[in-house]
Amino acid sequence: MKKIILLTLLTIPMMLFALPSDKQQEVTINAKSSEINAKNGVSTFMGDVRFSQGSIQIRGNNVTVKTGKNDQLEAVIAKGKRAEFWEQPQKHKPKIYAWGNTIEYFPDKNQVIIAGNAETKQGQNQMSSPVIHYNTLTQVATSPYSAKGHTQIIVTPTKQKATG
């Protein structure tokens, strides 16, 4: 059992790592309605919201965007029946997809929090839990203890080319 957990922990880090250039890309947001508060840096978007920055894509029924000094992106919080997050972790690697009732993305903290029926998938590898935390800098994914359910991880071995 310990070997399975260790294997899983070694495999998960590659699941949620963004392209380094994503943070320098412009932000585009599409929504049915919006409320922009330039004074406090909090903007709310409602109705089929689509956020993009480089390879990072976030979808939700309602999305709140928080900015700091010089309009630096501090947080994106998406809520919905099934909010979505996806990105291209590295060139030539499968995209990482995440779903949950709430997705919180903190680019300066290198953190993504998926909560409420949280799921991630990259290629054939999958993880589901009530909550999933991921640090894109350290490449560590955790699912803290929850009385609401268990964590399930599915790791599909990579097929090796035959030698001969």
Domain with residue 112: its CATH number is 2.60.450.10
**pLDDT higher than 50, residue 149:** yes
Domain of residue 75 covers: 2-154
Asked if residue 53 belongs to a domain, the reply is yes
Please state, in angstroms and rounded to a whole number, the distance separating the CA atoms of residues 62 and 79. 5
Query: pTM of the prediction?
Result: 0.79
What is the overall mean pLDDT for the chain? 82
98-137: burial string, b at 16+ Cβ within 10 Å, e else: bbbbbbbbbbeebbbbbbbbbbbbbeebbbbbbbbbbbbe
User: What is the tally of structural domains in the chain?
Assistant: 1
For residue 151, pLDDT over 70 is answered with yes
Q: Is residue 163 part of a domain?
A: no
162 occurs within a structural domain: no
Instruction: Give a yes or no: residue 114 inside a domain.
Output: yes
Residue 61 CB contacts under 8 Å (≥ 6 apart), including other chains: 46, 47, 48, 49, 79, 80, 81, 83
pLDDT at residue 138 greater than cutoff 80:
no
Residue 164 lies in a domain: no
